[in-house]
Amino acid sequence: MATYIDIHPVDPQPRLIEKAAAIIRDGGLVAYPTDSCYALGCSLGNKDALQRIRDIRKLDSKHDFTLVCRDFSQMDAYVTFDNSLFRALKNATPGPYTFIMKASHETPRVMQNPKKKTVGVRIPDHRVAQALIEAVGSPIVSSTLLLPDHDEPLLSGWEIKDELDHVVDAVIEGESGYTPTTVVDMTSGVPEVVRVGAGDPTPFE
């Protein structure tokens, strides 16, 4: 059964954040809230947990996983991009955007799109997510918690625990957003909006 962790959305309790972070560091898979919607998250390069995400969401090997980062400097270590895009990226972070970018040599190959060598990155504007990233000590590898037989993402921790109790290791309750991120492909040097979600796409159109 999944551990249920009820964390205050405005003032996250350090003890509970550390409890969730320890599960991730120890190889577990956690459902956690963000400013867009719930995500499934694991530690960097965790092959087993990545496969569990694929199985839960019925994803193929071409899926771009997302590195959910604490800040821009942490994100910068895992991707490469044209400096002309720096201002647009800075203005949109933190926020409900996912950027598809060329992976750097720091990004484990198992996380990269096998043909394009790309990876998604984002910086959430959410206190629980930020505290969790800080406690884990590295980006959290994530995917939107959108199940294949659902039209909309699941919105509450209890709902997720009921649905995924035997396939995730922990569920964090902490007031999530309800719309997936806006996804912007930055790999060509010219932004391309590939999914309109919670973030305003206008700056990238």
Strand partners of residue 108: none
- Give residue 11's pLDDT: 95
pLDDT level of residue 81 (50, 70, 90 thresholds): confident
The listed CATH number (3.90.870.10, 3.10.20.440, 3.40.50.12780, 1.10.10.10) that belongs to domain 3-200: 3.90.870.10
Q: Which residue is listed with tokens 């902490």?
A: 174
- Give the mean model confidence (pLDDT) for residues 9-35: 97
- Give residue 116's pLDDT: 86
- Give the mean model confidence (pLDDT) for residues 183-194: 91
Could you say which DSSP state residue 195 is in? E
- Give residue 24's pLDDT: 98
- Give residue 111's pLDDT: 81
- Give residue 142's pLDDT: 95
Mean of all residue pLDDT scores within the chain? 92
pLDDT level of residue 14 (50, 70, 90 thresholds): very high
CB 133 within 8 A of CB 15: no
- Give the mean model confidence (pLDDT) for residues 179-187: 93
- pLDDT tens track for 40-50: 999 998 999 99
- Give the mean model confidence (pLDDT) for residues 172-200: 92
Query: Helix, strand, or coil here: 133?
Result: helix
Q: Where are the domains of the chain?
A: 3-200
Q: Which residues contact 43 (CB under 8 A, 6 or more apart)?
A: 24, 25, 27, 49, 136, 138, 140, 141
- Give residue 108's pLDDT: 84
